[in-house]
Chains A and B, each alone.
Chain A
Amino acid sequence: MSLFARIKGVLRRDRLDRDLDEELRSHLEMRAQDNISAGMNAGEARYDAQRRFGNTTLLKEDTRAADIISWLDTAARDLRYAIRMLRRSPGFTAVAVLTLALGVGANTALFSVVNGVLLNPLPYPHPEQLVTLSESKPNFDTGSISYPNFRDWQKDNHTFTSIAIARGYSYSLTGLGEAEQVRARFISSDFFTLLGVNPVAGRTFSQGEDEIGAAPIAMISAGLWKRKFGSSPDAVGKSLTLDGRGYTIVGVFPANFELFLRNSRAADVYVPIGQWNNPLLRERGAGLGVHGVGRLKPGVTIEQARADMDQISRNLAAAFPVTDKGISAHLIPFRDDMVGNVQPILLVLLGAVGLVLLIACVNVANLLLARSTGRTREFAIRGAMGAGRGRLIRQLLTESILLALSGGGLGLLLAQWATRAVLGVLPAELPRAAEIRLDVHVLMFTAAVSLLAGILFGLVPAFKTSHLRLHETLKESGRGSSGARHRAQGVFVVLEMAMALVLLIGAGLLIRSLAAVWSVAPGFRPDNVLTFSISLPPSMVNASPAAIRAAVRDLDDKFASTPGVQAVSLSWAALPLSGDDDEQLFWLDGQPKPSNENDMNWTLDYIVEPDYLRTMGIPLHRGRFFTPQDNEHAPLVVVVDDVFARKYFGNQDPLGKRIILNATGRKAEVVGIVGHVNQWGLDSDNTQSLRAQMYIPCMQMPDAFVAMVPSGMGVVVRSDGTAPELLNAIRRTSQQMSVDQVISGVQTMNEVISDSLAARRFSMILFGVFAALALLLSSIGIYGVISYLVGQRTHEIGIRMALGAARSDVLRLVLGHGLRMTFLGVVIGLAAALGLTRLMANMLYGVSPTDPLTFAGVALILALVALTACYIPARRAMRVDPIVALRYE
């Protein structure tokens, strides 16, 4: 019947009832009339008419059966029946619902992460037009864009609506309550308009305001606006003192605005890039951590834009060979740049958590199968009373969907809690973490997953059960003919074991990877080392280089004499594993100066003080490290690491050799060789092309550099471990010097390392949790099936024992069964894992995706757990009393 007719049926149910009543009445009357004409008396006539009809209610039921109303009626009846059945066996219901809740909960939690990070569109209009821009250089695919190059890109391109650049910075904010360090970002004027972000008050920067030498203006975040100005509209036009200089506030940008552009973090203040007092800004060859974003013109593809930018790069290389030879623009779709790194990890995790759900489903299907055996007689009787096969399947499906939805509801609660937990272990650099929440999509996902799960695990038992031969079942008192069901349960358990093994192996490989990464020596001793940044009082910003040097020395002395401090050093430029890096170009003394910068040598540079080596615990291999005498008046000296020494001096002795630094053109003598430190990441340092390291004494840096020091410098401190309150002591020391001197970004070096492994830990923890869930569920599964079999075979076991079987024989019988399933599951699981772990090769470190030790160890663990799960029911079987068992029937 068409759906339309059914719906019509609903709408006219009342009328239908009335029509039917009246029609039947008229029929009865006509029949009675005829009967009277045929000679019956009135009573007889009516009785005969009625009798022919039989049960009028049943007739009406039958007549209406085709209507959707009755369909709904049946559904409601099924539902009531299902609720009654589930309430009658609370233990079964609880286990099933909990199992499903775990599966659905884990899936929902992870899906909400995937949804927030990968699926939701970026919160900008036409996000597909956005691309990130970088300079591709010999050592960096996505290197910094120089300001002059940016201006030429902006001027010469034909494929972008506009392009903009940004660079993170940190300012001392004074004059508004207590002095504080605020995160800032230098941007070009088009930045906000390009993204399509409108200010909530005031305006954005306009053309020309981002040029070097323009008037100082700033935009502030809605958060800072609220905190410092009570969100008053008057704030626009007021002055903001940053590093001692007044910036006129022109606008406020929205609170939730956050843009991830390569290492940059959410900022409270935006300032036109021309305001940056860095003298290198005008240098075409400078790498200052500036990255770009562009919006393609409508209809322009990224390939067209790449071709366009390649042409521009070629022109620039021809015009400025010294700086631009070998440099080209690098374009990546914005979304890929943002989530490209995490996408494969999240997808692997999603696959893993999907397996957990599958295991949960299989488990519940098994429970249902086991239970349906107990209900065989119930179904046989219902069948005998005329219920069709479809009717029985429908009843069973109603029960399983009810279970699934209950599990899903509970799972949603679990997910809400789990999502918070997941957010807790999220790597800080996970993009778009703020957008992760339970939204409509997540709810729909959960509902769909639950329904699907319900149908999935309900279907097999439903078909099996409805496939009964009625009289046989009734004859056999509901005990026999369940061989097919045993087989299905066995298959389920084997599958479950296999899936759990795959997950366990995945988790094992990740754990071993993390352990391998942790055991990588970082090249320094991170224990008891604290790192933070400090900015001098704004009054120092325009002070003379000599005064700044004096202030830095004073700071050094004061910190060094703070109780509990063993050693202290300033640290500029690069800091190991922190994500901050800096490079210098140089060539060897005695060689001609390379004609362009890209033919020069690159090295990481660390601008530090004499105690740096002692503070960080880096070993000195040869020569000496810096002394206080390596100051602004002494000849320039540098210390290099073994990688540098090997790479540039080979077998020669580097000590006493000289190099020429491109930035200043000055000659420096190599006075010492130290150990290599792990700059890029414990797991990735070896694979980087730029690994040579060079140390320069802070005090020997040129005046132009020293002038930038007051606005912020890094400090590393080694404590003797006896002063738990070291940080407070340091803060006090700093406050005593000046209240406008701000300390921020405090981290122990161990935290720095641990943060650098956050992504790895994130996937390991989640994978581990999923694998543990899988192990738990599958051992419950095998336990359930074995218990069930023991229960079913009590009679048989009794007979065996009566015939003389020993207890150990019974134990062997039952354990043997479990062992066979486990063995099959392990074999299939190992084979599947061999194929699947390859997918996670990128997440592994120091361990092969088919690591035999992990495979064997995990398989052994699984087998042991499974056997333990079998042993409990096996013991019960062993204690079967033959007399009781035989009498039991």
Chain B
Amino acid sequence: MAKPQNNDVLQGTLALLVLKTLARGSMHGYGITRHIQLVSKDILRVEEGSLYPALHRMEQEGWISAEWGITENNRRARYYQLTANGRKQLAEEEKNWARLAQAVAHVLQLV
């Protein structure tokens, strides 16, 4: 199998992506990775090794909550959903990202 390109999710943006994904509705961990990969047209890939610790941390922070549910294929899975705090956090992170992206864009234009 070909070595995948280095297109891991940028450090620090994982939370933003997860929160944004969950803003659409509750979803399980695997669904989150798939969604991000799909929406980013295979450019962004979430490593399982980072996803679950991140989910756990976000749950501890009170941004998301989790409960056991059943998938379409009748499999048990843990579903995550945004809390009110998580919504606020998402707004915050989106703003940060916009600022950052803009800053980078400025730099690129100048040089």
**Chain A interfacial positions (CB closer than 8 Å to B):** 1, 5, 9, 19-20, 22-24, 26-27, 29-31, 33-34, 52-55, 58-59, 62-66
Contacts and interface: CB of A to CB of B under 8 A. Distances in A.
B49 A27 contact: no
Interface in B10-40: 28-30, 34
B71 interface: yes
Given A26-B30, A63-B52, 4 more contacts: A1-B60, A23-B52, A26-B28, A27-B48
B78 interface: yes
B57 interface: yes
Nearest to A60: B52
A795 B75 CA distance: 70
B47 A30 contact: no
A63 B77 contact: no
Nearest to A26: B77
Contacts of A54: 48-49
Interface of A is mostly: helix
B6 to A, nearest CB: 15
Contact of A26 (B34, B61, B78): B78
Interface in B90-105: none
A55 B77 CA distance: 21
Contacts of B109: none
Contact of A59 (B34, B49, B61): B49
20 contacts: A9-B60, A20-B52, A23-B29, A23-B52, A23-B77, A26-B28, A26-B30, A26-B76, A26-B77, A27-B28, A27-B29, A27-B77, A30-B30, A30-B71, A52-B48, A55-B49, A59-B52, A62-B53, A63-B56, A65-B53
A1 B28 CA distance: 23
* 7 nearest CB pairs, A to B: A30-B30, A62-B53, A23-B78, A63-B56, A27-B30, A63-B53, A26-B77
Contacts of A30: 28, 30, 71, 75, 77
Given A27-B29, A65-B53, A33 B73 contact: yes
B18 to A, nearest CB: 14
A26 B76 CA distance: 7
A24 B52 contact: yes
Contact of B78 (A19, A29, A58, A63): A19
Contact of A22 (B53, B61, B76): B76
B73 A52 contact: no
Contacts of A55: 49
A24 B78 CA distance: 10
Contacts of B34: 34
A66 B56 contact: yes
A52 B66 CA distance: 23
Contacts of A66: 56-57, 60
Interface string B41-54: 00000011100110
Nearest to A8: B60
A62 B49 CA distance: 9
Contacts of A33: 73
A55 B49 CA distance: 8
Given A1-B61, A5-B60, A59 B77 contact: no
A26 B61 CA distance: 24
Contacts of A9: 60
B49 A26 contact: no
A24 B75 CA distance: 13
Interface in B59-89: 60-61, 71, 73, 75-78
A604 to B, nearest CB: 82
A62 B48 CA distance: 12
A66 B77 CA distance: 23
